Amino acid sequence: MQTPSVIPHIIDQHAEEAAFLWLLRHNAVYAPHYNLKDLAKLDGRVEAHIDGLRIAGDYGWEACCHNLEFKERGEVFIAAVLALEGNLIDRIDKVYQVAEEAPETLTGLISAFGWVEPHHLQGKVNGLLISKNPLWRQVGIAACAIHRVDPGKYLDEAIQDDNFQLRARALRAAGELGRADLKSLLLEQVSHQDTAIGFWAAWSTVLLGGRGKALSLLQTSIIEGSDFSVKTMSLALRVLDLQQVKALLKTLVQSKDRIREAIIGAGIAGDPGYIPWLIKQMESPKLARIAGESFSFISGADIAYEDLEGKLPKNFAAGPTENPEDEEIAMDPDEDLPFPDPLLIEHWWKQHQHNFLPGVRYLSGKPVSEFQCQAVLRSGKQRQRQAAALELALMQPKAPLFESRAVGKKQQNLLL
C-alpha cells in the first residue's frame, strides 16, 4: 500500500504530543480529580494523535523510532502501539530492545499492551510468556493481567520463579485475576524475605478471601511502616473489624510523623465517626487537603463543586519552590486536591450527619454495597473508583478485580 503524502513537522508533532499526553494519562489514572468521563476524554486526545501517526504510515513509524532514542516511557508507549498493531517483527524487536536497555520505560510498553485491541496481541503475548528471559515473562504476565486474561500454567509457574520481580508481578496478578485456586501457594510466600513478594502474596491472599496469617501480616506491615503502607491500608482496613481499625489508626496517630497515613486510613475505613477528627485536621495547612479527601471518601461531598473550599494560607508552600537553597524537591502529593474550609465543612456536616450511622462503613456518601460500588465506578473520581473496585473484589473473591486504569471507552462499555 502506498504511503500517503505527509507533512513531516505535523507528524513529528503528533509523535511528541502523543507521548506527552500519555504521561498525563499515566498520572491521571491515580489522580484525585479525574473521573471516568475525564479519563475517556484524555484517551481520545491520545488516540487522535496515534491515529495521525497510523495514517502517516512508514513516516509515522520513523518519527516514533527517532524519538525512541530518548528512552522515555511516553515515547516507548507510542512506538509500541504502532509496532504491535503493525505486526512487523523488526519494529516490535526495536521497541523491546529499548525497553530492555532502559527498564524504567517498561511501564510505557506494558501500557501499550493494555491500549491495543486483543486481536493484535495474538501470538505476541504467548511469545513473552515462554521466553527464557524473566523480564519478558514479567511483561507477558502484566499484559494478561491488564486485559484480565488468565495465563494459566504460566502464572502458576511464575509465582514460584527464582526471579523476584517476575514472582512479585505474578503474585499480584493472581489477585487481580481472581485465581482463588492459588491461595495455598500464595499463603506460602506471605513471610518471604523480599518485601514486594511478601506484600503481594498477602495482598492477593486477602483479596481472594483469605484472612488469618495473611491479614495479620498486613496489620503488622501497617504498624511497622513500609513503602507499601498505603496500599496495605487500602485493602486491610476494608476487611478488619472496626475496633481493629480504630486501634491501628490510633497507633499511627501516636507516631507524629504518620498522622497523614492515619488520615488516609480514616477515609478508607469509611466510618463517619472519624469525621469530627478529620475536620480538626483540616486546620493544619499541610494536612488540610488530604483530610478533605478522606472526608469526601466517607461523606460523598464534593468540596470544590459544593463551594466548601477555603484559601491557601499566605506563604504556604508544599513541594519544591523557586528558592535555590530549598532542599525540598518532592512534588506536592496533594496538588490536585481542593483546600477545604474547616468552618464550611463543619457546617455541612451538621446539616447532613443525621444521614450517617457511626459504625457503618461508607463510600462516597452511601453505605458500602455492590450497588453503591457500581455507581462509584461509573461516576466517582479515580481514587474512589479504585476503592470501589477493591470493595467489589472483596465481595466476590473469585471475580477479577475491575481494572480502573483501562482505556476509558472500554471501561464505559463494561459499566453500561
Burial of residue 351, with CB atoms counted within 10 A of its CB: 0-12 exposed, 13-18 middle, 19 or more buried: exposed
- pLDDT score recorded for residue 6: 84
Distance CA 199, CA 295 (A): 28
- 3-state helix/strand/coil string of 197-221: HHHHHHHHHHHCCCCHHHHHHHHHH
Q: Where are the domains of the chain?
A: 8-170+254-312+334-414
Model-wide pTM > 0.85: yes
Do the Cβ atoms of 115 and 407 come closer than 8 Å?
yes
Calculate the CA 23 to chain-centre distance: 14
pLDDT of residue 226: 86
The phi, psi pair for 340, rounded to 5°, reads: -80, 150
Q: Are 253 and 242 in contact (CB under 8 A)?
A: no
397/394 Cα distance (integer angstroms):
5
Q: Which of these, 366, 401, 365, lies nearest to 386 by C-alpha position?
A: 401
For CA atoms 86, 117, 112, 171, the dihedral sign is negative
Per-residue pLDDT of the chain (416 residues; tens, 9 = 90+): 445 578 999 999 999 999 999 999 999 999 999 999 999 999 999 999 999 999 999 999 999 999 999 999 999 999 999 999 998 999 999 999 999 999 999 999 999 999 999 999 999 999 999 999 999 999 999 999 999 999 999 999 999 999 999 999 999 999 999 999 999 999 999 999 999 999 999 999 999 999 999 999 999 999 999 889 999 999 999 999 999 999 999 999 999 899 999 999 999 999 999 999 999 999 999 999 999 999 999 999 999 999 999 988 877 766 655 555 555 455 789 999 999 999 999 999 999 999 999 999 999 999 999 999 999 999 999 999 999 999 999 999 999 999 999 999 999 999 99
